[in-house]
Amino acid sequence: MNILGKSLFGAVAAMPAVAALIIFGFGPRAATALTPTDDFASHRAVYDLRLAQSRSNSTVSARGRILYDFSGSACEGYALQFRQVSEMDNGEGKLTLSDLRTTTWEDGAAKKFIFKSLNYLNQTLIDTVEGQAERGPGKVAVTLLKPVDKTFELDPITAFPTDHMRRIIEAARAGKTILELPAYDGSDKGERIYQTLSVIGREIGPNERPPTDAAGSQPALAGLKRWPVTVSYFDKAGQGGDQSPVYSIKFEIYENGVSRALTLDYSDFSISGDLVSLEMRDTKPCN
């Protein structure tokens, strides 16, 4: 669930890859390899997008598709190729086509995160973001190459996307229902830091509520637990108090990191993402 830049609907990037270094009873994570049963599954997923709800007159219809190609292991690091193409109609004859393409790599020990994204609007490149973040003693150092050459530092507890998801799954297994932490995914010109709030629902057992989408036909998922999760993203630079989230993502997450039943909520409208194709791939175990 994500995993990245932010296009018209592009909050997904934080999706099947979202979590951090501190989460209700967990301390900073040591750089140790996971066992194969605890690692994320390499997979290629396709989600069809459609308008679920419009709370204003500004959005009449929306459709699109997400391609999410995730591979790697705790010892080799995790690579993601992500593409989201979305078309919106405002009901007045104006169509907007958004095409977000992102590639990332994250160290298995959550020490390094490399990212690059290209954002097209109506087939014109409008935004390029490229850089890396590295965790060191007492800080996370970010080096941006595009859109500007810039360096800055983040709080050492700031999460990278894949480790964020790992922490959500750890919390779910431990019966936790709330997780709060700052997160960085290189979105919004590479300078946006989010404060995230994850709400984890009741465990769904392997034989409970069998999925009717592409996840339902995968033997690799049949024996796994999953949890409904809502992750809300707040502007960390914003004022305190009762701040509304910039966006929220709802999904069901399996123990191996595969996500289904997406909903992307942008306040004025929400988008549903149906899992229409899922290819599970072998993940090379750590030696």
Of 114, 186, 184, the C-alpha closest to 156 is 184
Rg (CA), the chain: 18
The domain of 221 spans 10-113+157-281
SS3 273: strand
Domain membership flag for residue 118: no
Domain membership flag for residue 82: yes
Domain membership flag for residue 45: yes
Domain membership flag for residue 168: yes
Distances from the Cα of 32 to the Cα of 107, 208, 244, angstroms: 11, 33, 37
pLDDT tens, position by position, 191-238: 889 999 999 999 999 989 999 999 999 999 999 999 999 999 998 776
pLDDT tens, position by position, 97-125: 999 999 999 999 999 999 999 999 999 99
Sorting pLDDT into bands at 50, 70 and 90, what band is 70? very high
The overall longest dimension of the chain from CA atoms, in Å, is 58
pLDDT tens, position by position, 13-50: 333 333 222 222 223 333 333 333 468 999 999 999 99
pLDDT at residue number 268: 77
CA dist 31 and 34 (Å) reads 9
Burial class (CB in 10 A: 0-12, 13-18, 19+), 130: middle
CA dist 260 and 209 (Å) reads 13
Domain membership flag for residue 66: yes
Q: How many domains does the chain divide into?
A: 1
Of 232, 218, 223, the C-alpha closest to 260 is 218
Domain membership flag for residue 215: yes
Domain membership flag for residue 221: yes
Domain membership flag for residue 129: no
Helices (H) and strands (E) in the chain, counts: 2, 14
